Amino acid sequence: MIQSRPRTPLGYLPILLPAFALIAFYIVPFGSMVGMSFFHNLGGGAYEEVFTLENYARLVSPFFLSVLGTSFEVAFLVALFAIVIGFPFTYLLVNARRGTQVFWLIVMLSVLSLSEAIIGFAWSTLLSRTAGIGVLFEALGLTEKAQSYAPSLGAVLAGVTYIAMPYAVLLLYPILSRIEPDIEQASRTLGASPLRAFFNVIVPMHRTPIVVSFVMIFVFTLGSYLLPQILGRPTNWTLSVVISDQALLQSNMPFAAALSIFLMTVTILLVLLVTLINRKGAKA
Amino acid sequence: MKLGKILSTLFFWIVGIVTIAPFVVIAGVSVNERKSLTFPPEGFNLGWYGDLFLDAEWREPLMTSLTIAICASLLAVLIAFPVAWFNWRYRTGFGKLVAGLGAMPFLLPPVITAMGFLTFFIILGYYGEFWTVVVAHAIFLVTLPLVSLSLGFEDIDTSLVEASRSMGASETTVLRTVVLPMIRPYVISGFCFVFVISLNEYIIAVMTVGAVFETLPMKIFNALRYGYTPVMAAASVVFVASTVLIFSLVAAFSDLPKLLGARSK
């Protein structure tokens, strides 16, 4: 029934339209952005179509290096937190009843799909003086007077980890759901407690998926753009925020394009790294 | 109960509670009697939900978001369906290439895709036109129906297709009477995934039509910058509720764990 290819060239027609749509509205826009990154900025949204490398030269400025430092710091810490929380959570999830699994999968999918504007608003409320944990801490007598915990770097980390955790769960869920039940049983028979079986057998067994997920979450976090603006100060802004700020508020399209190309290069390098790790892991 | 069991149950529930807590708080502040940001809420008032649907300042962004999401998810499914069908029916390098291309936008940080569309539509002079955000969302999210439809096609019992063909059914008859009914749940879940994410998407919408139209996420973000109103909380609650409802429907009508890659047991 399955054929290697259509019998007549006409048989290719169904896939030609989608192919055209993807090329015209993805590859071409992409190319135009690459072109834009070499144009000269005139200010106020105008640009001159001459070839220049000045937008890329600005990437080594102290301002940009500090943005890069913040982005990588946030992405690294968030990826770490998300894995440390997400891995054991997913492990417990795949071993739960089916109904429990479906419930938490719906919750995780929802958190991941919700607008960062809504998550940001919810977290700024949660960290506020009048409606959040400040009230709770005061009521519990932990602090004398309720205070606000945002904007701060800690708030950005908490907010971004909050959306990265479901991403970690959805990345790890298919992998952990394939664990043979015999493995845990075997280590239990040999006298290991469930906790020891988890830390001494399950975690080391999944070194490769853990590293791969870490890199994927790192990339995912680099894309967060509203949470650092809502929960942080301008010094906590990440690369994605700076790109949208350059494009929309400073109206410097060529520089925003160059920054995007840089971010894309970093992303592609990281994805290649993941592929390499995966291949090595498969061999081992 | 053993210590390990107690610790792991405790951990699971703490993570679960923290995941749900932000929404409990905004649901609470959305029913405050007066225009204040307090939790636990003071008094009870559902009037802010009324404002969301009656006040044009909020109703219009809501309608804009819904229109974009419906059009974009239809378009995304229309683009993904022939690709998934073609790759199920034939094994060609070209088909695989197109499917790979469809997965790309979703892998990169969205701000990059958004910048591509911004440059492209500015150069062409279409910046700000309504259709640009529909096309941009459909292309950005085409991966989702592509994945769900590919899973669906793999699931089709080929002997049924063989049978109908050996009884003389043409390609289109097979597609209409055998394939389509079996693939329908996957079409619907693909549609739902695009719908929900398009509804919530911010950066691509801003960079295509942000100067002309306002979507609800933009409205919430702007309102957040210019001061607080409980309508924001009401709008967020409605969005959270519809998102959860749509994914619950997907779970009810298809095998959600399998759709997310779990081993079938």
Q: How confident is the model at residue B113 (pLDDT cuts 50, 70, 90)?
A: very high
A22:B101 CB<8 A: yes
> Domain A51-283 belongs to what architecture?
Orthogonal Bundle (1.10)
**Host H or E run for residue A41:** strand A40-43
Measure A195 CA to nearest chain B CA, in Å: 6
Is-cis flag, bond preceding A88, omega within 30?
A: no
Does residue B128 carry a pLDDT above 70?
yes
Task: For residues A238 and A281, give the distance between their C-alpha atoms in angstroms, rounded to a whole number.
Answer: 32
Question: Of the candidates B144, B78, B114, which has an alpha carbon nearest to the alpha carbon of residue A109?
Answer: B144
Say which of A131, A178, A264 has its CB closest to residue B263.
A178
B149-169: per-residue pLDDT in tens?
A: 998 898 888 888 888 888 888
Mean pLDDT of A26-50: 89
Overall size of chain A counted in residues: 284
Minimal-distance CA residue of chain B relative to A227 = B221
- And the tokens for A248? 């929309």
B184-233: per-residue pLDDT in tens?
A: 989 999 999 999 999 999 999 999 999 899 999 999 999 888 877 888 88
Does residue B46 carry a pLDDT above 70?
yes
Say which of A102, A135, A174 has its CB closest to residue B251.
A102
Minimal-distance CA residue of chain B relative to A85 = B15
Question: Of the candidates B106, B104, B190, which has an alpha carbon nearest to the alpha carbon of residue B153?
Answer: B190
pTM of the model: 0.91
Task: For residues A148 and A150, give the distance between their C-alpha atoms in angstroms, rounded to a whole number.
Answer: 6
A194:B4 CB<8 A: yes
Task: For residues B30 and B46, give the distance between their C-alpha atoms in angstroms, rounded to a whole number.
Answer: 8
Q: How confident is the model at residue A132 (pLDDT cuts 50, 70, 90)?
A: confident
In percent, how much of chain A has pLDDT > 90?
52
Question: Of the candidates B110, B201, B20, which has an alpha carbon nearest to the alpha carbon of residue A166?
Answer: B20
SS3 A43: strand
Domain boundaries, chain B: 1-45, 59-259
Q: Where are the alpha helices (DSSP H) in chain A?
A: 13-22, 28-36, 54-57, 62-94, 98-113, 116-126, 133-140, 153-176, 181-189, 194-197, 203-205, 207-222, 227-231, 239-244, 253-283
Cβ atoms of residues A138 and B40 within 8 Å: no
Q: Which residues contact A230 (CB under 8 A, 6 or more apart)?
A: A116, A117, A120, A121, A123, A124, A151, A159, B221, B224
- And the tokens for B89? 């029916």
CATH code for B59-259? 1.10.3720.10
Task: For residues B178 and A24, give the distance between their C-alpha atoms in angstroms, rounded to a whole number.
Answer: 33
**ipTM for the complex shown:** 0.89
